[in-house]
Amino acid sequence: MVETGYSSFNATVDKTNRLLKEIEQAYGWPHERRNQSYAALSAVLHALRDRLPVEEAAQLGAQLPMLVRGIYYTGWDPSKVPVKMHKEEFHARVRRDFPYEVEGGIEQLIKTVLKALRLYVTEGEWDDIKSSMPRELADELP
């Protein structure tokens, strides 16, 4: 655990590191490739956030660890959402924002990141997110 001198900061750094480690372990990436797991998390979070209606996006953001919440809201313009994206457009958006090649393709990367995020979101909120998405995208959420 990182020691910041403030318990809330320590906890959010620890939770963020655990989330990134989940992604890394799924791909066998060493810790030195943390920039890839961060890029994966950011790309999926931003595509998901921008696909959701404002209220749903805010409810999801409220459940994320503080540091992840900061990543989630970076660059968000609520006046320009929701962006209507179907499966292919959602995948293209993540692919555009994730500049690395990844084993299994972008669809597998999305599923891996969403599975890691799922640990921090309540069942009710996850159901709300799924109901806000087109069926083809909702089916990808764990």
Q: For the segment 64-111, what is each residue's pLDDT rounded down to a tens digit? A: 999 999 999 999 999 999 999 999 999 999 999 999 999 999 999 999
pLDDT, residue 105, reads 95
- In sequence order, what are the residues at sequence separation of 6 or more whose Cβ sits closer than 8 angstroms to the Cβ of residue 7? none
pLDDT score, position 1 = 61
Domain boundaries, the chain: 7-138
Q: Is the pTM value of this prediction over 0.85?
A: yes
Please name the CATH architecture into which domain 7-138 falls. Orthogonal Bundle (1.10)
Query: Please, what's the largest Cα pairwise distance for the chain?
Result: 45
Please provide the average confidence, as pLDDT, over all residues in the chain.
94
- Cα torsion 113, 139, 65, 67 to 10°: value is 50
Cis peptide before 82 (omega within 30 of 0): yes
Q: How far apart are CA 105 and CA 50, in angstroms?
A: 22
Q: Report whether 98 contacts 125 (CB < 8 A).
A: no
Query: Which has the higher per-residue pLDDT, 3 or 38?
Result: 38
Give the 3-state secondary structure of 79-136: HHCCCCCCHHHHHHHHHHHCCCCCCCHHHHHHHHHHHHHHCCCCHHHHHHHHHCCCHH
